[in-house]
Amino acid sequence: MKLGGNKKMIRTMQRLIITGILSALLMTGCATTQLTSAWKDPAYKGPPHKIMIVGITKKPVNKRIFEDEFVRQLKAKGIDAVASYTVMADRKQGDHEVIAMKLKEQGADAVLITRLVSKKTVRTDIPGRFTVIPSSYGTWRDYYVYGSEVIFTPGYTAEDEYALMESNLYDAGSDKLIWSAASETELLGSDQDQIKSYIGVMVNSMAGQKLLK
């Protein structure tokens, strides 16, 4: 084999490795949510017939995306739901009397309130590493001249940020807590991706607790 062919093969292998690394990074760009705890009142005889969704957030646009997505996923599971922003002003979201009145007007027998509890940052030290790409071993001359190509990936410190969220489901008539869940969502990608990831886990938890039809 010609020496020029060895160089071409090495460059091709390097491109493949770099492409693989980039693909892996893109795949990890999706938001992920992990349920950390969940509780249900064993005396509750539900499921609820209609749930009002109240998302407590500083960004109005995120509140709307959040509540709409919760409504969509709950309806897909057979539970009627209404987004609070469609029936009351954002400035009234902390007013208990207004929420109670809107629950009655909408015929909702439960209210789901979600808030961001806190955020945390996890730091991980990633050591550097060598990746050895052997040259062609077709002849001893090729091996002697080129030996091997070595790619060094330097070490770095990765910082992953997580949102600690809490969702509580209350009975509209008694105000009693029916169900509560806490979770961690890794903050990757867009706000909309994170919201969908979180809500999917919450709805599945509610289904697992027999709170949905």
CB atoms within 10 A of CB 177: 14
**Strand 80-83 to 50-56 pairing:** parallel
How far is Cα 22 from Cα 4, in angstroms, rounded to an integer? 27
Q: Which residue has the higher pLDDT, 153 or 169?
A: 169
The reported pTM is 0.67
CATH for 32-124+157-208, options being 3.40.50.10610, 3.30.300.30, 3.30.465.10, 3.40.50.720:
3.40.50.10610
pLDDT one-digit tens code per residue, 61-98: 888 999 999 999 999 999 999 999 999 887 766 678 88
Asked if residue 147 has pLDDT above 70, the reply is no
Instruction: Report domain extents, the chain.
Output: 32-124+157-208
Q: How does DSSP assign 124-187, residue by residue?
A: EEE--EEEEEE---SSHHHHHHH-EEEEEE--EEEEEEEEEEEEEEEETTT--EEEEEEEEEE-
Q: What are phi and psi of 136, to 5 degrees?
A: -65, 135
The three-state secondary structure class of 93 is coil
**Token pair 């060598």: residue:** 130
